[in-house]
Structure 1
Amino acid sequence: MPSRAVKAADSAGGTDTPHVNGSCSKGNSVFSSLSASSLRRRRGVVRSAAAVLVSGLVAAGAVAVAGPAAAAETSQDQGGAIATMGGLKTYGGAVVHGDNGDQQVSAGLFEMSVDGGGTLQTYCVDLHNPTQRDASYHETPWSGTSLAANKDAGRISWILRNSYPQVNDLAALAEAAGIGSGLTEQDAAAGTQVAIWRYSDAADVDAIDPQAEKLADYLQKAARTVAEPEASLTLDPPAVSGHPGGLLGPVTVHTDADSVTVTPASDPAMSGVRIVGKDGKAVTSAQDGSQLFFDVPEGAADGSADLTVQASTTVPVGRAFTSESRSQTQILAGSSESTVSATASAAWAALGPIPALSAAKNCAKGGVDVTVANKGDEVFTFELMGTEYSIPAGVSRTVTIPLQEDQAYGFTIDGQAGFQKRFTGVLDCKTQGVVGGNAVRTLSEPSPATVGGTSTGPNLAETGGSGATPLIVGVAIGLVVIGGAALILIGRRQTPTQG
């Protein structure tokens, strides 16, 4: 049987986006899986799509099965908590020293509300980039952030565990730092943020309040390396594939929650697909280490499905949070009981290549890792960034797609019976910017941030909040134009499918 070549093209459009100095903001990849119609059986095309900026995550509410003529969108993130930025709640003042002079900026704790319930407290780990109001964030491994290449990331984790708000006895914290009495919540938050910035951004920054500055100095000197915490909830691998008539998987649950709920098929009578354990029995709940399988009946039409697991737990301190809207990267300082979720997908076919596709940012390599596991009986061939890849039957391989910092990308890989995986996002792996001029500002104020804030101060500490808006709009328009041009070129280059 001849092998099937699946032609692919990449879309790594975008340009280096100007940064506004003084705060922290960047986006993270969003990976969404689709099942589209109009693909001929045993034919596939991997095509490029216009580079776009996208926001938000689609939380799958059930196992969605899609055949050749269906189209269903599901989530393909790496799992965990999804939250919305609420603002800078407890903060003080700091001074950032740069080549163009000293600038004042608010420094302290942000608060985010978790989708489905819960509250997070975070510090910023990307001083020179802006915060977007109401930005959507999702839990992200350090490998997908600037912490991946930061040898001092473990020291930041130590600071979080040994300072405010994890240590909420301010008298004890002051004593440990040799401060004496009078340490306020604002001083504790500002001092902690300043110490983090010195490691996250290698910033020359001082707290304005003497108490906060002493705390920052103590934390910086005392910090030791602590390992990255485990995710609150993930599924591994996030994608599986195989032939109908058996169990596809396993998909292993990793969580710090006592148990997770497993969403069953939305319409078992229609699809016949079940979510089961390794004993073949249907499951509705699971624990850390549980193995889940897609039970696809013999003779099922080629298609795909998703499963979602959800739990309520406290998110581990030190987990990173990133946004698709280029809002500043955050690191977790505290969590209430919060809703977390994760999604995995499965694809099946009777013949030909059957790829399971997933992706994640790899900041250590400056690109996006696309993992392809081919459980079919033919080679799966695709092209990305001008390079052709062939994944033999029964082989799993990870391909790193190199991208420029701040580069928007978007590409779609199509498989059997209308199955597709779409990967879009913006590579955000570095802290950048040079403090200078009058760019260090809060979102709600047109002038440099005042210092010595309170627990109910301005919504967000941001650099160039209002001034950055025209730049953001200009970049977005530019990306749309580039995307349109890309689509025209793709239309001219794409080889028509047979029939």
Structure 2
Amino acid sequence: MISVRGRGPARLAAAAVATGLLTAGAIAGAGNAVADENNPQPGGATAVLDGLKTFDSAVIHGRDGDKKIGAGLFEMAVDGGGVLKTYCIDIHTGTRKDAKYKEASWAESSLHSNENAGKILWILENSYPQVNDLAALASKVGEDVKLTEKTAAAGTQVAIWRFSDGANVEAVDPSAEKLADYLEENAQNLAEPKASLTLDPPAVSGKAGEKLGPITVHTNAQTVSVAPGAQAETAGVKVVGADGNPITTAKNGDKLFFDVPEGTEDGSASLSLQASTEVSVGRAFTSIDRQYPSQTQILAGSSESGVTATATATWATEAPAPAVTAEKKCVEGGVEVSVVNKGSEPFTFALAGEEHEVPADGKPVSVLVPVKEDQPYKITITGPNGFEETFEGTLDCETASEVTTGGTGGGEESPEPSTAPSPATVGGGTGDTGDTDTGGNLAETGSDSSTPIIAGVALALVVLGGAAVFFLRKRKPATAGSDD
């Protein structure tokens, strides 16, 4: 919705997060505003991890010996409705039950510099669950190959790990191992899939009497609803298209503007977009739990799912009108804060101990703030008249390694144990599956309600660990598809 607030002692900042961007539009004189990854307004899909659902066993060959793990499909429940099925692309990091995830580009994930990312997409498109006919898939792999949903999921996951982590990993089941070898040998690099819904840029600024924008819609949905709020009518601010006419729906490539009438009191506004669409196979999903990270996932199938995006606008007639965004930069190893000012006066802000001036010419001034891998960050930008914007999150751009995780031993525990199996507990068991029909690009197979294998172990550890379990933090759990 659009919300408009007057300028003065009231807070005059609106925050937005769009497809991996932490964004905020604010004007000079704003109070505190926080763009927090733990409570985002995301661009694209956000979902909650339900656990490892369709899996079999695999073995990691590491410097500390062989470790048996569960390998297969996870399931996520989408905020706003829908189901996602995913594979892991970070074998040495554990999962957290009920961890929250957001859709992300490859550049914002551990795939950012992986030359084999496109091969992972090929595997996803040419194996289970995108390929429902397991007999036909088995015939491509070789003679005497027989695949079930569990072994097909395990073989697919093993092949993905070889490209995502460079892992020395094998499926326990012979047919699953042959599938993994087949997928690895035949994989080809494909182009990164499109986002379900993003806005570019997610924050704009200008003067009253102008159309502020454009904001370009990028989506794979047929149509997207554009929802201005009732408060905008009071101020006379409208959301319009390139032709200047008010709009309630948009499609890919459309350009949106905030039409702010001349004489409107200085302030800010936001708009929200919503759609229902299949999220593209191959999109990355990164954890947004700052305290307890969960392994990065890659999408293997999607039902029709709810996706959203938010944009903001700020305007001022005789003052600065800054629009502030923050974007994770995995290659550079930090967060880039950018400020655009289309007001009437220059805008001066302080960030990371340095002062910067942004001319009122609409050209961005960008500052890279270095952030350590896996470390929560809190970046604050301040300006005149009490202006302050804070961006919080965690930079999670690299896959874990045996060195950084210490194998499978040691470390603290999450207070929320996962239902996924771990090397210490999986034994020779496999996951159970049941049929489900979710529509979208999901196979009509491969879901289960397997009883959590490690729940009792985790409970015992909570009792024995006492306060340590709750106050100590394990940076990188060492098992794939698991929570220690």
> Normalised by the shorter chain, which TM-score bucket?
0.7 to 0.9
Indicate if the aligned counterparts of 1:307 and 1:344 stay in contact, CA closer than 8 A.
Answer: yes
Output the amino acid matched with 1:433. Answer: S
Indicate if the aligned counterparts of 2:31 and 2:386 stay in contact, CA closer than 8 A.
Answer: no
User: Residues 179, 215 of structure 1: CA spacing in aligned structure 2 closer, same or farther, 3 A cutoff?
Assistant: farther
Partner residue in 1 for 2:427: 450
Q: What is the distance in 1 between the residues matched to 2:321 and 2:212?
A: 12
Partner residue in 1 for 2:396: 428
Q: What is the distance in 2 between the residues matched to 1:292 and 1:406?
A: 36
Q: What is the distance in 1 between the residues matched to 2:383 and 2:207?
A: 14
Partner residue in 1 for 2:319: 352
Partner residue in 2 for 1:114: 78
User: Residues 422, 437 of structure 1: CA spacing in aligned structure 2 closer, same or farther, 3 A cutoff?
Assistant: closer
Q: Which aligned pairs between 1:69-88 and structure 2 lie closer than 5 A? A: 75=41, 77=42, 79-88=43-52
Q: What is the distance in 2 between the residues matched to 1:127 and 1:333?
A: 16
Find the partner of 1:192 among 137, 141, 156: 156
Say which structure, 1 or 2, has more relative contact order (CA 8 Å, 6+ apart): 1
Gap regions ≥5 residues in structure 1: 1-27, 36-40, 58-74, 479-499
Partner residue in 1 for 2:351: 384
RMSD over equivalenced CA pairs, Å: 3.1
User: Residues 269, 54 of structure 1: CA spacing in aligned structure 2 closer, same or farther, 3 A cutoff?
Assistant: closer
Q: What is the distance in 1 between the residues matched to 2:111 and 2:378?
A: 24
Q: What is the distance in 2 between the residues matched to 1:474 and 1:433?
A: 24
1:133 aligns with 2:97: yes
User: Residues 364, 209 of structure 1: CA spacing in aligned structure 2 closer, same or farther, 3 A cutoff?
Assistant: same
User: Residues 385, 465 of structure 1: CA spacing in aligned structure 2 closer, same or farther, 3 A cutoff?
Assistant: farther
Q: What is the distance in 1 between the residues matched to 2:32 and 2:146?
A: 63
Partner residue in 1 for 2:186: 222
Q: What is the distance in 1 between the residues matched to 2:329 and 2:143?
A: 41
Gap regions ≥5 residues in structure 2: 1-18, 434-447, 476-484
Q: What is the distance in 1 between the residues matched to 2:344 and 2:205?
A: 12
Output the amino acid matched with 1:266. Answer: A
Shift of 1:34: 7.8
Moved more, 445-454 or 260-269: 445-454
Q: What is the distance in 2 between the residues matched to 1:298 and 1:184?
A: 66
Indicate if the aligned counterparts of 1:355 and 1:415 stay in contact, CA closer than 8 A.
Answer: no
Indicate if the aligned counterparts of 2:25 and 2:325 stay in contact, CA closer than 8 A.
Answer: no
Q: What is the distance in 1 between the residues matched to 2:140 and 2:468?
A: 45
Find the partner of 2:328 among 335, 351, 361: 361
Q: What is the distance in 2 between the residues matched to 1:321 and 1:208?
A: 27
Indicate if the aligned counterparts of 1:308 and 1:344 stay in contact, CA closer than 8 A.
Answer: yes
Q: Which aligned pairs between 1:470-481 and structure 2 lie closer than 5 A? A: 473-474=470-471
Shift of 1:154: 1.3
Shift of 1:353: 2.3
Question: If the length of structure 1 is used for normalisation, what is the TM-score?
Answer: 0.78
1:294 aligns with 2:261: no
**Number of positions where the alignment pairs a residue of Structure 1 with one of Structure 2:** 423
User: Residues 235, 190 of structure 1: CA spacing in aligned structure 2 closer, same or farther, 3 A cutoff?
Assistant: same
Output the amino acid matched with 1:342. Answer: A
Indicate if the aligned counterparts of 1:262 and 1:308 stay in contact, CA closer than 8 A.
Answer: yes
Output the amino acid matched with 2:347. Answer: F
Q: What is the distance in 2 between the residues matched to 1:155 and 1:340?
A: 26
Moved more, 129-138 or 176-185: 176-185
Indicate if the aligned counterparts of 2:23 and 2:326 stay in contact, CA closer than 8 A.
Answer: no
User: Residues 348, 152 of structure 1: CA spacing in aligned structure 2 closer, same or farther, 3 A cutoff?
Assistant: same
1:282 aligns with 2:246: yes
Find the partner of 1:393 among 356, 360, 384: 360
Find the partner of 1:318 among 256, 259, 282: 282
Shift of 1:272: 1.8
Partner residue in 2 for 1:72: none
Corresponding residue SS for 1:189: helix
Q: What is the distance in 2 between the residues matched to 1:34 and 1:471?
A: 40
Moved more, 450-459 or 133-142: 450-459
1:55 aligns with 2:21: no
Corresponding residue SS for 1:148: coil
Indicate if the aligned counterparts of 1:105 and 1:461 stay in contact, CA closer than 8 A.
Answer: no
1:31 aligns with 2:22: yes
Partner residue in 1 for 2:341: 374
Indicate if the aligned counterparts of 1:349 and 1:416 stay in contact, CA closer than 8 A.
Answer: no
Question: If the length of structure 2 is used for normalisation, what is the TM-score?
Answer: 0.80
Q: What is the distance in 2 between the residues matched to 1:360 and 1:173?
A: 41
